[in-house]
Chain A
Amino acid sequence: MAVTASRTQEPPAVQAEFRASPSGLVARAVVATLLVAIVFTIPLITDTVWDDRVSLAAIFVIIGLSINVLTGYAGQISLGHQAFVGIGAFMSAYMVGTDGPGASFFVALPVAGLTGAALALCLGLVALRIRGLYLALITLAFGLVAQETIFNIRSFTGGGAGAEAPRPTGFVSNQAYAYLCLLFVGLFLLIDWRLAKSKAGRAIVAVRNNERVAATLGINVMAYKLFAFALSGFFAGVAGSLFAHQTKFVQAQNFDFTTTLLWVLMTVVGGLGSRAGVVVGSAFFALFQYLGDLLVKIFTFGQVHIDKITIAEYAPLVGAVLLLLTVTRYPGGIGQQLLPIRRWLSGGPFVDPKHRRKKRGAGAAGAAIAQEAPLEPVGEREAEPTEVLERVGASSEEPAAAVDAANDGQADTAVDAANDGQAETAVTTQMPAVTVAAEEKTVRRGLRAFRRKG
């Protein structure tokens, strides 16, 4: 199949064609450094209120990455992420608190991460048996149980009253804490990046695309699924710990149902499977209510001031509408829009070379598909970025969807990093056979139904 065929072949010629000039490389390095530098200078130039918001954005980014590991890479939907973030927050508060061991923050943080991982692992065990729609339901119910039962155990979380979580010495100021959070964002981005490039990362994605095919390739489906859950839980637990000490006081109501849905939608809008998209999406939703106020003030020259409550009310609406747009129109999310920039920064051309090539040779290559699916414009179809979101549900239901497992755009998360253009040719050659068979079957079935009826 596409996966095995491309392994043995050379990387496509398109990639070899383009080589950035030395000055181009310098330009890329300068822009990349500037981007990082800008993020790290924000806490320096902003006031202490905004420093706190930077921390919050950083925490949201880690949560987004956590959901991305589970939903984007492993294709397991989670509507109960508040359980993992919340358990991390309460564990951290418990560890440093007077009722608990009274440990330091730097002990509490990894413990919180491990607790999140352990809880996620429990849910992962369930996910081995239950999948698809039922898993979505289970995670939602699990989140509610965590919120109503676990977070209200008096001896652990202080019941409804909440628990105190003081900041560690040296990081008491908002500015210092913002840097601490940014540091963790950097760390997790590094882990996430290396994971996606590693054997484990590719195995997880293979399991998402088609469990059966992955198993035949010798991938331990069970182990990698559990690993994805545990890793996602660890990210979430650490994010919870950072959140607890950022607000300095945790309560069960911080982790309610709508918050979880906001986290899920910021990840989907950011673009499942796209690291850059998730980072931008998460930060955007964390800061939305403050940015909204700022933008209104700037554009009306300080004449109109909308109070914070009004904007906070509108935030979920904007998010939900963006989610619906992402799901129905732009399945790649923000990550899809960022793709040219990302490609350019990593040493490639700004414009997709494949896109250009396809335009030239569209006549011959596209003819085969055009015959089978005359309603679909060929050029558009091939230029389309991968629809990760669609593949979330495709794993067990549509083995055919696994054929376009490795596509452009998502090369780093695809089964084989090197088979960029290659998989596509495999798809082109395989498509007609599959569609012909399917069409024939449906027509025959339709006729049979017709005969029975009349």
Chain B
Amino acid sequence: MLKDVVYGLFAGATYGMLAVGLVLVYKGTRVFNFAQGEFGTLGAFFVFWLFDQVHLPYGVAAILAVALVVVVGLVMERIVIRPLLTAPRVTVLVATVGAALVMISLEIIIGKAVPRTLAPALVTKNLIEIFGVAISYQQLLLVGVLLAIGVGLVVFFRTDRGLAILATSQDSYATRVVGISVPATSRLIWGSAAFLGGLAGILQAPVVGVFGPAFMTALPGAALIPAFTAAVIGGMDSLVGAFVGGEIVGLAQGLGFHFLGLNHGVPGAQDLTVFVALLIVLLARPQGLFGKEVA
């Protein structure tokens, strides 16, 4: 059981990382971004292409890949999000689903639906043991990056730029009056979200082992729904909540897999636990653990 719990907690770090991107977009634009997972998949594809095909050094490939994902995020912001700035939020949600579908189909057309393996940033041979569970350095790196991002973002939201993002989401008209550019803020939000998503995908792909089109959104990574659940549990407008929520979801999955999946043979036990957790939180405390408002 301890093994499943540790696995769950490390999986939770990935969910937390995606959830931070979701929370960022929500704080800035009041929208659920269903394309967040695909930013990650694109990141993994770009690294695979630059490292395995173009043979660039790993570090260069990773940086370039994240930059490319940011470009994708900015393009998406320009042609999908900007025209819908004043549209109802569910419309924008459908639009982000559409954007995710465009990315998935491009991945299928260009990359074909073949499972690939992405080399990890750190060598996998050296494993450390935590409670008898072998943890790769890649997983530790993921947790480290996540913590660094967390601290960085919390600080960022105290700066003028960060406050501008919050102001735009609360009242875009008043924000314009005080001289803050709404399109520039929107670009900043979506660029950062793409950055976080791409980073999550690049770090997660070697941990999952194989990746293919839509691996962060659907199977085998299946991180988008748990990440949303994490963000909701923590509170859609709370960055700290996203981290804690990620760990809670990871833990719930680990326990669910152990008690339902292993002991009782329930298929898809992890998804079931996540769904039940999401349902309970939304029915009992829709503003989440750390959140202030209901989305």
Contact = CB atoms under 8 A, between A and B. Distances in A.
A74 to B, nearest CB: 13
B218 A145 contact: no
Nearest to B177: A446
Contact of A445 (B104, B171, B225, B228): B171
A313 B173 CA distance: 43
Contacts of A323: 94, 97-98, 101
Nearest to A261: B101
Interface in B269-283: 269, 271-272, 274-275, 278-279, 282-283
Contacts of B84: 327-328
A66 to B, nearest CB: 17
Nearest to A317: B105
Interface residues of B, number: 54
A320 interface: yes
A186 to B, nearest CB: 30
A27 B279 CA distance: 55
A319 interface: yes
Contacts of B31: 133
Interface string A417-451: 00000000000000000000000001101111110
Contacts of B272: 145, 148-149
Contacts, number: 171
Interface size on A, as a range, is 35 or more
A132 B89 contact: yes
B216 to A, nearest CB: 12
B267 A390 contact: no
Given A323-B94, A393-B88, A149 B268 contact: yes
Given A141-B274, A394-B88, A446-B174, A317 B106 contact: yes
A298 to B, nearest CB: 23
B109 interface: yes
B214 A258 contact: yes
Most buried by B among A129, A133, A265: A133
Contacts of A130: 282-283, 286
Contact of A314 (B83, B88, B97, B105): B105
Interface in A137-162: 137-138, 140-142, 144-145, 147-149, 152-153, 159
Most buried by B among A152, A159, A319, A449: A449
30 contacts: A77-B94, A79-B97, A126-B279, A133-B89, A137-B32, A137-B225, A138-B282, A141-B274, A144-B225, A144-B275, A148-B267, A152-B268, A257-B214, A264-B97, A265-B101, A316-B105, A317-B106, A319-B101, A320-B98, A323-B101, A324-B99, A328-B80, A328-B83, A392-B91, A393-B88, A393-B93, A443-B177, A445-B173, A446-B173, A450-B174
> Top 7 A-B pairs ranked by shortest CB distance?
A148-B268, A393-B88, A393-B90, A446-B177, A152-B267, A320-B101, A317-B105
Interface of B: 31-32, 79-80, 83-84, 87-91, 93-95, 97-99, 101-102, 104-106, 108-109, 167, 171, 173-178, 214, 217-218, 222, 225, 228-229, 232, 266-269, 271-272, 274-275, 278-279, 282-283, 286, 295
Given A265-B98, A450-B177, 10 more contacts: A144-B271, A265-B101, A323-B98, A327-B84, A389-B94, A390-B87, A392-B91, A393-B91, A445-B173, A445-B174
